[in-house]
Structure 1
Amino acid sequence: MSSIKGVANPGLTGSQTEEARVYAKVTWRLIPLLFMCYVVAYLDRVNVGFAKLQMLRDLQFSETVYGLGAGIFFIGYFLFEVPSNIILHKVGARVWIARVMVTWAIISAATMFVTTPTMFYLVRFALGLAEAGLFPGVILYLTYWYPSQRRSKMIALFMTGIPVAGVIGGPVSGWIMHSMAGVYGWAGWQWLFLIEALPSIVMAIAVLAFLDDRVSDARWLSEDERKLIARDIAQDQTQTQSHSLRDGFTNPRVWLMCGIYFFFAVGLYGVGFFLPTLIKNSGATDPLTIGMLSMLPYAAAVIVMIVVSRSSDARRERRWHITAPALIGAIAWLVAVVFKHDVLIAMIALTVVTCCVIVTISQFWCLPTAILSGAAAAAGIAVVNSVGNLSGFLGPFFIGWISDKTHSTDIGLIVLAASLAIGGLLVLRVRKDLVNR
């Protein structure tokens, strides 16, 4: 058999079509499963944004209490993320990801029993501890299967779980809260937490049944197909500059990535935790209507994400595929402030914001995975995600606090705009020769 393009072995076929076929086979096996895991994970993480529409009134919580509870999730996330990713690297993704999903499902369902601010804080903190291993674990897992030039599209396909969770979660959450309120004496928001936790258990079982830890474990691939992927990965890793566990903590570029992701994640969770409230403030009132309207920005984001990721891979250009959406999204946040009481313009602005925020997040992960491999990737990806996600604590807390003080979300949205712009400009400090491949 002749050589494969990009694989240093003349014994395997060099056909570009054959190579594409092999990776398509891998993609159909892995990405739908991982995608669905992320859909249910993100839904369990941010459904508190819909619960807020009824929960604050029923429990007499202030906006500050809500913001602190929504954000304290990320303190638990921060504390356990690096250890979780190192464990996954050692024991394998299959068992560890399934364990993560079962744990967070139980804790997310337990949110229905919250009655005091302290209980709310504790259950959100525990949820962060439980979920800490999923996202960075999957990003690390994808480096085992795809070389860097194919990774942008795969990360984007996986991360379409965020907007799809919004497309599905908005109408479903609105329907649950609209239709289930009072059933068996439970409030609509209590049913929301219970019902939306159940799919995580189902997906944990699917992970145990269908996920393989490494390419070498994949019996559904032929020996030549496993060799093709393994050699692509080995060749790709010769171009990375950091491999050891120590590099994942000490490489200055890792800390630049932390800063970039910190500012981007402020925008992501600004959308995730406050989009229903912003839509309500623009004039909608019924939970079902708010749920249906919240679906639109996420539906648009699915399309934009895939288009931008394909462009990024085809051109092998990463930096401007991140910076440009970040700057556009910052402008859209400001438009949402100015026209906050005009439902049509506000919805258009929030749709642009959602598209841009989710594109920047998905494209961002092409950067650290291009400069890290092996144990450095396990630690470094987790460090970047955990430090960056501290903004998920600070952002909601600040927006909730400033909303209570000013009785307006305007200042909070301006901060979100500035954060997105700063993150986009910081991306230009990354050397393009390290990541544009």
Structure 2
Amino acid sequence: MVDSVAAHSAAGFQSFENALYRKVNWRIVPIFILCFLFAYLDRVNISFAKLAMQNDLGFSDTVYGLGASLFFVGYFLFEVPSNVLLHKIGARVWIARIMVTWGITSGCMMFVQSDFWFYTLRFLIGVMEAGFVPGVLYYFTQWYPSHRRAQVNSYFKSSICLCGVVGGPLAGLILGQLDGALGIAGWKWLFLLEALPSIVMGGVVFWRVSDRIEEAPWLTQDEKNLMVQRMAEDFKPAGKPSLTEVWRQPATYVMSAIYLCLVMGLTGLLFWMPQLIRNAGVADTLHIGWLTMVPYLFAVVFNLAIGRSSDRRGERRWHMAGCALLTAAGYLVCAMTAGQLLPLMIGMSMIMAGIIAWMPIFWTIPPRFLSGVAAAAGIALINSLGQLGGVIAPFMIGRVRDLTGAATPALYLLSLVSLLAVALILWGVPRAYYRTQREPDALDESPKLHRLVAQPHR
């Protein structure tokens, strides 16, 4: 009888906790998903604008590839300072600032007339965006215990898929329908119209986001107490939470190398997908936009399934390695079947699914060996070093295309880069950092927390 009552109490408490985190998810995750959606539209709309912009401005593939890459140079240089400031100032104000300044700079791309201003604005967009993704990921570490982060990270990173689903057709529609409207080229309309939502989301973040659990007016005191206790019980890395701890950890550099491979794989496809589809015989920009949806639709389903599986099983290492291997296989398919639309779409779907599902799991690892300001700076450092892959891959593909007339050699190389990531995941990161803290057993909770179940849930 006692066991039955205890089991009922445990089930009730677990139901209360799960409902609480669902409430938190619905309150904060959609805001950052929308921010990331519009951020990614501003980041990659250059890949669609390229189809007309190059003809109007006379840019070579090398110029385009370098301009696409310079975004990541600005990102790299200002990522760590931006996240350290976020830690000091707070996510609400700093992320709002990022969204507004970033949107304004992205909109200015419509005024580009020369390669100098193309390079300058791409660099400045990277500077303004620096700190956004690691800032949000660090923010999640302040709200979610480690055993819940892979899934919430997967929700956030699914914005990339949403960007592909929305962005491709939207870009094709703008380029096709607004070209010449009011005497303005379609690619200029693209930069302008996709910049405005980022500015609006800056205001939304400022008014709707709370920096800390204790400051959230939409949580009851009981809910705050439970969440604070969960964070207190969570795994705490050894070492002091100082900036110097970031540089002392060998895992920081291994994780940066893994992320560099990931970003090379992502940007290699991201900035050249429309061109690869065009090379497969699709000429209409609207049709190209619709076809770019396919890899993202496949990726969003795979991403959510892998994130959920990783959290439920408490396993990170093999989930990540499997995703990286899928990416390598996808690039191999694209390289071997260049110019054939159906296998190209299959290969791109494999690449996108592997990379998008890889990222949420990856970002659960740094908080295992860094905490406090070290976590904020460490996440930013790993992200910024990894973003150098975004400098390498787009420029490399553009240069290879100019020299050989085809992107195939670069696709083979990106397959090898993904295989290198598999090796680093399996043998480069200490196994202890892949362990997760399982969800606490409700039967072991303190009597104080058990009383929450019996109280009215406001």
Contact 1:318–1:435 at 8 Å: present in 2 too?
yes
SS of the aligned residue for 1:317 comes to coil
Picking from 301, 304, 328, the partner of 2:302 is: 304
User: Which residue in the other structure is 1:434 paired with?
Assistant: 433
2:122 paired with 1:114: no
User: Which residue in the other structure is 1:264 paired with?
Assistant: 262
Q: Distance in 1 between matches of 2:325 and 2:98?
A: 35
User: Which residue in the other structure is 1:6 paired with?
Assistant: none
Contact 2:79–2:131 at 8 Å: present in 1 too?
yes
For residue 236 of structure 1, report the CA deviation from its aligned partner: 1.3
Mapping 1:22-421, distance limit 5 Å: 22-239=20-237, 243-421=241-419
- The share of aligned pairs that are identical, in percent, is 46
1:226-265: per-residue Cα shift (whole Å, max 9, x none)? 1111121122143555632221232111111111101111
Q: Distance in 1 between matches of 2:415 and 2:110?
A: 33
Contact 1:249–1:383 at 8 Å: present in 2 too?
no
Q: Report the TM-score when normalising by structure 2.
A: 0.91
User: Given residue 430 of structure 1, which amino acid in structure 2 is its aligned partner?
Assistant: V
Which piece of structure 1 moves more, 403-412 or 426-435? Answer: 426-435
Q: Distance in 2 between matches of 1:134 and 1:14?
A: 37
User: Which residue in the other structure is 1:7 paired with?
Assistant: none
1:243-301: per-residue Cα shift (whole Å, max 9, x none)? 32221232111111111101111011112111111111111111100000001111111
Q: Gaps spanning 5+ residues in structure 2: where?
A: 1-9, 437-458
Q: Distance in 2 between matches of 1:240 and 1:77?
A: 29
Q: Distance in 1 between matches of 2:435 and 2:40?
A: 29
User: Measured at CA, do residues 241 and 418 of structure 1 come closer, stay the same or move farther in structure 2, by a change above 3 Å?
Assistant: farther
1:107-138: per-residue Cα shift (whole Å, max 9, x none)? 10000111111110000000000000210100
SS of the aligned residue for 1:146 comes to coil
1:189-226: per-residue Cα shift (whole Å, max 9, x none)? 11100000011111111111110011111111111211
Contact 1:368–1:381 at 8 Å: present in 2 too?
yes
For residue 371 of structure 1, report the CA deviation from its aligned partner: 2.4
Q: Gaps spanning 5+ residues in structure 1: where?
A: 1-11
Contact 1:337–1:410 at 8 Å: present in 2 too?
yes
Q: Report the TM-score when normalising by structure 1.
A: 0.95
For residue 431 of structure 1, report the CA deviation from its aligned partner: 2.2
Q: Distance in 2 between matches of 1:173 and 1:354?
A: 19
Aligned residue pairs total: 426
Q: Distance in 2 between matches of 1:72 and 1:315?
A: 40
Q: Distance in 2 between matches of 1:435 and 1:214?
A: 27
Contact 2:237–2:371 at 8 Å: present in 1 too?
no
User: Measured at CA, do residues 49 and 240 of structure 1 come closer, stay the same or move farther in structure 2, by a change above 3 Å?
Assistant: farther
User: Given residue 39 of structure 2, which amino acid in structure 1 is its aligned partner?
Assistant: A
User: Measured at CA, do residues 239 and 15 of structure 1 come closer, stay the same or move farther in structure 2, by a change above 3 Å?
Assistant: farther
SS of the aligned residue for 2:282 comes to coil
User: Given residue 199 of structure 2, which amino acid in structure 1 is its aligned partner?
Assistant: I
User: Which residue in the other structure is 1:424 paired with?
Assistant: 422
Q: In terms of Rg, which structure is larger?
A: 2
Q: Distance in 2 between matches of 1:238 and 1:169?
A: 40
Contact 1:245–1:378 at 8 Å: present in 2 too?
no
SS of the aligned residue for 1:278 comes to helix
User: Measured at CA, do residues 213 and 183 of structure 1 come closer, stay the same or move farther in structure 2, by a change above 3 Å?
Assistant: same
Q: Distance in 2 between matches of 1:47 and 1:369?
A: 32
Q: Distance in 2 between matches of 1:399 and 1:188?
A: 25
For residue 14 of structure 1, report the CA deviation from its aligned partner: 7.9
Contact 1:242–1:248 at 8 Å: present in 2 too?
no
User: Which residue in the other structure is 2:442 paired with?
Assistant: none
Q: CA RMSD in A?
A: 1.4
Contact 1:109–1:197 at 8 Å: present in 2 too?
yes
Contact 1:148–1:236 at 8 Å: present in 2 too?
yes
For residue 436 of structure 1, report the CA deviation from its aligned partner: 2.1
